[in-house]
């Protein structure tokens, strides 16, 4: 069995939200970054298990999405702080750390469980892994995560003019290095 640790400086996890509703075009689609990640993986041939932790207090609004292009300067600093406060207090209230556990029999698919204070969700993720040299492995992929499955409150705008779609897009590019 081979144990690897996540290299936080070389790893990235982002969450993309999309607005829905009658006035959705007045709302912002957002990209939220999780800059401080902790994690590890254990490899046993092609089979593997992994754990990842995301501190809720570290989640940051990276910017507004225009299609799939990120505009980091579209929000004022005050708007950015308000959104981050809402994520921490309302959407993920009571959760200090989002815990992610994943496993797979091959390196192209994962069965994932995401745990927050309000509940947990099971999902499948698509993966792509590559050898980076010096025992390091890069893993990229994505999945859809349901806020309702997590037991999170629905996120709505004033007077219900828009809401955040239930399905969040989670994208990751992780680098694992040998333990020790």
**Domains in the chain, please, with CATH?**
1-176 (2.40.128.110)
Calculate mean pLDDT across residues 67-87: 94
pLDDT bin (cut points 50, 70, 90) of residue 38 is very high
Q: Facing residues of 98 across strands?
A: 54
Calculate mean pLDDT across residues 86-98: 91
Q: Is the pLDDT of residue 26 over 90?
A: no
How high is the pLDDT of residue 36? 86
With beta carbons less than 8 A apart as the criterion, state whether 175 and 129 touch.
Answer: no
- What is the 3-class SS of 8-33, one letter each residue? HHHCEEEEEECEECCCHHHCCEEEEE
pLDDT bin (cut points 50, 70, 90) of residue 32 is very high
Q: Is the pLDDT of residue 25 over 80?
A: no
With beta carbons less than 8 A apart as the criterion, state whether 114 and 133 touch.
Answer: no
Q: Facing residues of 114 across strands?
A: 100, 121
Maximal CA-CA distance, the chain:
55
- The pLDDT tens digits for 121-161 are 999 999 999 999 999 999 999 999 999 999 888 888 777 77
* Position with higher pLDDT, 159 vs 38: 38
Structure tokens at 100: 């992610």
Percent of the chain beyond pLDDT 90? 76
Q: Facing residues of 84 across strands?
A: none
What does the alpha-carbon distance between residue 159 and residue 150 come to, in Å, rounded to a whole number? 24
How high is the pLDDT of residue 30? 96
| Alpha-carbon dihedral sign for residues 51, 52, 57, 61 | negative
β 69-71/119-133 pair status: unpaired
pLDDT bin (cut points 50, 70, 90) of residue 90 is confident
Q: 148's torsion region: left (phi>0), alpha (psi -120 to 50) or beta?
A: alpha
How high is the pLDDT of residue 114? 96
What does the alpha-carbon distance between residue 132 and residue 156 come to, in Å, rounded to a whole number? 42
Q: Facing residues of 2 across strands?
A: 43
State if pTM tops 0.85: yes
């Amino acid at each position: 069995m081979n144990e690897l640790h996540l290299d936080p400086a070389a790893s990235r996890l982002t969450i993309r939200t999309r607005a829905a509703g009658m006035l959705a075009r007045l709302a912002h689609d957002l990209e939220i970054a999780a800059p401080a990640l902790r994690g590890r993986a254990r490899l046993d041939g092609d089979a593997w298990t992994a754990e990842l932790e995301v501190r809720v207090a570290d989640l940051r609004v990276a910017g507004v999405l225009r299609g799939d292009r990120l505009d980091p300067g579209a929000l004022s600093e005050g708007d950015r702080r308000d959104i981050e406060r809402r994520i921490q207090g309302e959407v993920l209230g009571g959760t200090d750390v989002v815990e992610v556990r994943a496993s797979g029999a091959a390196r192209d698919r994962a069965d994932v469980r995401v745990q927050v204070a309000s509940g947990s969700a099971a999902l499948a993720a698509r993966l792509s892994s590559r050898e980076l040299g010096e025992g390091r492995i890069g893993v990229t992929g994505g999945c859809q995560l349901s806020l309702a499955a997590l037991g999170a409150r629905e996120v709505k705008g004033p007077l219900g003019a828009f809401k955040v779609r239930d399905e969040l897009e989670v994208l990751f590019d992780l680098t694992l290095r040998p333990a020790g």
